[in-house]
Structure 1
Amino acid sequence: MADNNTKTLRELLGLTKSSHSALYENTRDDLLITIDCENGFEFTKQDRALVKVNSQLGLAILDPKDLSNSTSVSTRFIFGESYNLFTRKKDLAEKIDSIIPDSRNVILIGHGRRQDLKAFSSLNAKFLQYPFFDTQIIARNVLPVIDENKKTNESLRDLLTCFNCPFDRLHCAGNDANFTLRLLLLLVVYSLKDVPPPYIQEFKGKVKIIKDIAYAALPALKPYPHDVAFVRKQRRRQLKLQARSQGPDTIARVRAERAKKRKEKLAALLREICTE
């Protein structure tokens, strides 16, 4: 069953005509901002300029006004870049606040993130004055009970898997913020199951747009350095196994060919140096 927060999100995303919450007088103007923090306890330390903070902050922003009948709408919801910030918490708070227009209302979204709120609160960022919706709590109210005693696992990974939503490289703040926003959209759409079918037809097109955003393909990601090293190690191991299966004459021939190629490369390099 949808709670008041879910009904408010329905209204915000254009999935209802009537207001379900007196708390938001102009929900059509709200931005949805998901927040995530890894190693958030680092931000609660004393703010000293020379102290290195090993932590991550992630924000993902969705403007419901962009949910138009456009085929390219899904391209607006993609991953950005990660940056190393060498700055004081005060400057970081100002940077975060500058992203959010003063003229817009905001609903903050997180996934079971009390620790995240504590970390962001230590920055004294002004946008923390806005209401906070927890996708973990929304999931408890929206998703069906699996059996009499146990509900769907409430981790971000398991809930995304439950909806067959694409994800990768969790526990990176930027990624988690992005996937939490996707999960939120899917939960709101799923909550429409308690709406009579005749009314569902009215926003069928909007539901398709929202699902297209949530299920948008992931961008091509570069492999982690340790993944590349693993592939190279496996390749060297494969070559050794192949060499062992060959006779001594074949091994000697392969080694001679490799030595010849190394000499040719060295000779070419020396010629290039001499001509400069």
Structure 2
Amino acid sequence: MVTSRKHSGPQLVVFCTRGVALTWTQLWVRGSQREDLWKKYDGNRRAYYAAFHLDDTETLINLERGMETFKRWEARLSRQMLGQRNQSAGMSAAVNFINALATQTMSDKADFVFVSLDFEGDIHSRGLTEFGYATLDTRDVIADGPTIFGHHYALASNHKRGFLFGDVTRIDVPQLGATIREVCHVTDVDGTDRRVVLVGHGIHNELRNMAAHGVRLEDLPRVVGAIDTGELSKVVLGQASTLERLLTSLEIPLTRNRNGFADSLHCAGNDAHYTLRALLLLLYTQSSPTSGGSIDLLEQMARAPLPGRAVATKNDDWDAHLDRELFEDIVTRICPASDRTNS
């Protein structure tokens, strides 16, 4: 213990680096610690102030931690700026689409495909379990023949909620990145690439899930914008809400169980479809009632009756490619014909 000011500087520094367990920030915040240090060094100001300094190793560790934090914040801010630019471009494209509907004249700026995306699961814990999408071609709407297409991909061996709007395909997690790229790459009949506007409710979550599987917006040159129905609902309705509350407030049909709960939500394919319907009705609500043209088509699509109730399925790809003749041959050799007849 340092008891006088006669000790040399180096000895004091060595003692300080070995004797102080808490960081200098902790010591500085707590008044009782400062008092204890003052008593500990018996009024030796040089030793007292030296106790608040980190040694070279601690300083290097803190610098490395600070740089890692800076890199994370820089990446986060870059994503936010990219997302804001894309959302501005997405809304601009939507306005051009509304104008084309009002005039019933297609323009290049209104010629694109809405692609609504949704994921189920958590990339930070048990992983993603489902991916779904829904598409709407603005050309079809202008031509008065609109159809929303969609698909559901199951990344687990089973899923609890049935997909209402199409087929289900079982894929493995390593295939998800390529699947997302394929969904976001829309081609025309002549093979040329179409412009795409991504749609999502809380779309930053979808973009984060895409990036986690190697798909970034900057890698998708034909994606010209993105629209967040959660943010759009703030502008149009003056409130932010969950997808279920938004659908309910917009009076978009939902399947419900006997307890009144929307039992078709939290299925990625269904949520993507519902999100696209919500977008159409928000755009309809935001447009002028006297816009004319085919604006009413947006409301009709959004509030169209739902298809028959789906049954939760387990659709493994191997079953679709099963060699039936080989299967029958195996059954014949294992199970005699008499046994099969009796059963």
Q: Which residue is equivalent to 1:84?
A: 170
Which one has the largest radius of gyration? 2
| 1:132 counterpart = 2:226 | yes
Provide the residue aligned with 1:262 in structure 2.
none
Secondary structure of the residue aligned to 1:56 is strand
Gaps of 5+ in 2: 1-87, 151-164, 256-263, 314-339
Q: 1:171 to 1:133 in 2, by over 3 A?
A: same
Equivalent residues in 2 for 1:187-226 (5 A)? Answer: 187-192=282-287, 195=288, 200-203=290-293, 206-223=294-311
- Is contact 1:74–1:212 with CA below 8 Å preserved after alignment? no
Q: 1:74 to 1:86 in 2, by over 3 A?
A: same
Q: State the alpha-carbon separation in 2 of the partners of residues 64 and 155 from structure 1.
A: 26
**Separation in 2 of the partners of 1:99 and 1:29?**
12
SS of the equivalent of 1:58 reads strand
Q: Identical aligned pairs, as a percentage? A: 25
Counterpart secondary structure, 2:254: coil
- Identify the match of residue 29 of structure 1 among 86, 90, 111: 111
Which aligned pairs between 1:45-124 and structure 2 lie closer than 5 A? 54-68=128-142, 70=144, 73=145, 76=148, 79-86=165-172, 88-89=174-175, 90-97=177-184, 99=186, 103-124=193-214
Cα distance 1:273–1:142, how it changes in 2: closer, same or farther (>3 A)?
A: closer
Alignment-derived partner of residue 237 in structure 1: none
> Hey, what does 1:143 align to over in structure 2?
237
Aligned CA distance change for structure 1 residues 124 and 130 (closer, same or farther; 3 Å): farther
Secondary structure of 1:55 counterpart: strand
- List gaps (5 residues or longer) in structure 1: 18-24, 46-51, 145-150, 226-271
CA 1:99–1:88 in structure 2 vs 1: closer, same or farther (change >3 Å)? Answer: farther
What are the Cα deviations for residues 171-220 of structure 1, in whole angstroms up to 9, with x where unaligned?
1110000000000000001002xx4x6xx2532xx122221111111110
Between 206-215 and 88-97, the greater mean CA deviation after superposition:
88-97
The answer (yes or no) to whether the contact 1:92–1:123 under 8 Å persists in 2 is: no
Whether the 8 Å contact between 1:40 and 1:116 is mirrored in structure 2 is no
Distance 1:35 1:55 in 2: 14
Cα–Cα, structure 1 residues 99 and 82, in superposed 2: closer, same or farther, change >3 Å? farther
Counterpart-to-counterpart distance in 1, 2:123 and 2:275 = 21
Paired position in structure 1 for 2:47: none
1:225-273 CA distances to partner (integer Å, 9 max, x unpaired)? 9xxxxxxxxxxxxxxxxxxxxxxxxxxxxxxxxxxxxxxxxxxxxxx95
Shift of residue 15, structure 1, vs aligned partner: 4.1
CA–CA distance in structure 2, aligned partners of residues 40 and 34 of structure 1: 19
**Paired position in structure 1 for 2:51:** none
Instruction: Tell me the matched-pair count.
Output: 198
CA distance in 2: counterparts of 1:87 and 1:5, whole angstroms = 29
Correspondence for 1:186 among 268, 281, 294: 281
Give structure 1 regions of 4+ aligned residues with deviation exceeding 6 angstroms. Answer: none
Once residues 8 and 142 of structure 1 are traced to their aligned partners in structure 2, the CA distance between those partners, rounded to angstroms, is 17
| Residue 11 (str. 1) matches residue 96 (str. 2) | yes
Q: Which digits, 9 at most, give the CA deviation of each residue in 1:38-75, with x for residues without a partner?
A: 11416xx9xxxxxx9651111111101001454xx355
The Cα of 1:143 is off from its aligned counterpart by 1.1
Residue in structure 1 matched with residue 242 of structure 2 by the alignment: 155
Residue 5 of structure 1: how far off its partner (Å): 5.2
Structure-2 separation of matches of 1:161 and 1:97: 29
Distance 1:170 1:66, change over 3 A: same
